[in-house]
Amino acid sequence: MSANLASLYADHLDTLKRRADEALQRGGFDALVVPSGRLHYQVFDDRDYPYAVNPQFKAWVPLVKLPDSWLVYVPGQRPKVIYLQPFDYWHVVPSAPSGDWVQHMDVVVIRTPEEALQHLPKDPARCAILGEAQSTVGAFAPNNPPAVVAYLEYHRAFKTPYEVEMMRAASRIGVRAHRAAERAFRAGASEFGIHLAYCQAAQQDAIDLPYNNIVALNEHGAVLHYTDRDRLPPKPVRSFLIDAGAGHVGYACDITRTYSHDTGDEFQALIDAMDVAQLRMCDQVRNGFDYRQLHLDAHLSIARILKDFGLITVTPEVAVETGVSSAFFPHGIGHGIGLQVHDVAGFAESDRGGTLPKPEGHPYLRLTRTLAPGMAVTIEPGLYFIDMLLEQLKDRGLGPSVDWGRVDAFRPFGGIRIEDDVVCTDAAPLNLTREAFAA
Ligand code: GLY
Ligand code: MN
Ligand code: MN
C-alpha cells in the first residue's frame, strides 16, 4: 500500500469507528461484533456454494476469503480481528494476517471456529452482532439490531476517500476486461468465448466477479439479466451488450457497454444518441439532486431519442405520461454501489429508518435518496426491444403510439444499455468508468 493509501485507510477506519460509536449508542450496546460468514452447503449434498463475505466485515478489513472469522469493535479500543487459520489439508488455508490493516487491529489467530468464543466479549447480550444466523458460535447469535443496522447502512452510502480509491481500482480492472471483451466480439467469439476473454483480462474467475456477467449478442440484449452464454456465435452477429463488473478488495464496479457490429449502421447511431444522453444524466449526479428526479428525467431523454429515431408516433412527453417509454426502458436508472453491487439502504429516509417511496409506476427503481457528496451510484439508461412489453402496449390500446415497422428494424439488435459508476462530490461528479476508459 502506498503511503497515501495507507493514510486513506487509517482515515477510513476512523470514520467507521465514529459511525460504530454512534450506532452502538443508539442501539444501547457496548460492542460491535461482526462474523465474516460461514460456508453454505447445497441441500442434501456436501458441495458448498461460493463463499460470500459479510459486507459489514469487509467494510473494516480488505479480507474477502476468510470464513468463520470475526471483527470486534468496542468504542475507545482498537478493533480486534479474530482470524481463523485452520489446520486443514483439504483446502488452501488463509495465509498469516498481513497487510497494512494489521497495524490498526489487534489480531488473534484461531484454529477452529469455536475458539472464537475465547476472544469475543464476555456478554453477548451487550453486543450488536451483525450477520447471518448460521454464523452463530456458542451464545453469539447475530441479533442485527435495527437501530444499529439502519445507521450503519444509511451511512455506508457515503464513501470514504479510501473507498473511492478501491472502486477506482475495481473500475480499472473492469475496463481492461471490457476492452478485451470488445476485441473478442470483433474477432467473432461466442458469448461464452467473450465471457472467458473477459475473465482472463480481469484475472478474475466468474465467482470472483461482483455479479454474474451479462454477455449478450443480438436479440439476447433484450433479456435484461441474460446469463446463458451461448457456446456458438449467432449468424449474423449484429450487436453486443455486455454488463460486467470486477471486484477489488471487496469493492465492485458495474459497467455496461453496447456495440454494433457494423459501426456505420443505424443501431450504432442509436447507441451514440444514448451515449450522449447518458453522459448528460451522469452530470446530474450532484449534491442535493433527488435520484428519483434523475430517473424521471431519463425517461424523457429516452423518449426524445425514441422520437428522433421514429420509434414512437406520439410526443416524448405523451410517451412518458402513458407509460410507452417504460416499455422501452423498463428498469431503474441505477442504484448505489460500493461493497455490494446493489448497495444497501437505497430507500432509507434517514439513519433512523423510514422509507422513501418510489415514484408511482416505477417499481424497479432501487434508489430514491437525494444525492450528497460521497454517494456512489450507477447511471444506466437502457433502450430495449422486448416483445412481451411491446405486446402489452398493444393490449392497453397504445399500439398506435409505436411505429412497428421501425421496431421490426431494430428488434434483431436486442437493446442498448450504457452504465457508468459515478461519485457525487461537492462539485462536478467523478465518473470512475469514463475515467478508466480514458486512461
Ligand atoms: N449488473 C446489474 C446491474 O446493472 O444492476
Ligand atoms: Mn447496475
Ligand atoms: Mn450492470
pLDDT at 2: 87
CA distance linking residue 316 with residue 433, whole number of Å? 29
CA-closest residue to ligand 1 atom 4: 254
Q: Which atom of ligand 1 is found nearest the CA of 211?
A: 1
Which residues line ligand 1 at a C-beta cut-off of 6 Å?
Answer: 211, 243, 254, 380, 419
The model's pLDDT over 272-289, given as tens digits with 9 standing for 90+, comes to 999 999 999 999 999 999
Band of the pLDDT at 355, cuts 50, 70, 90? very high
From the list 125, 154, 150, the residue with the least C-alpha distance to 140 is: 125
Residue 1: pLDDT over 90: no
pLDDT, one tens digit per residue, over 97-144 is 999 999 999 999 999 999 999 999 999 999 999 999 999 999 999 999
332 has pLDDT over 90: yes
Domain boundaries, the chain: 3-156, 161-438
Contact of 25 with 19, CB cutoff 8 Å: no
Whole-prediction pTM value? 0.97
Binding site for Mn(2+), by residue number, is 243, 254, 335, 380, 419
Give me the CATH code for the 3-156 domain, please. Answer: 3.40.350.10
Tally of CB atoms within 10 A around 77: 11
Residue 323 Ramachandran class (φ > 0 left, ψ -120 to 50 alpha, else beta): left
Determine which residue's CA is closest to atom 3 belonging to ligand 1.
254
Q: What percent of the chain has pLDDT over 70?
A: 100
pLDDT, residue 362, reads 97
Give the distance from CA 157 to its chain's centroid: 12
CATH assignment, 161-438? 3.90.230.10
- 381-429 pLDDT, tens digit per residue, is 999 999 999 999 999 999 999 999 999 999 999 999 999 999 999 999 9
CA of 364 to the centre of ligand 3 (A): 14
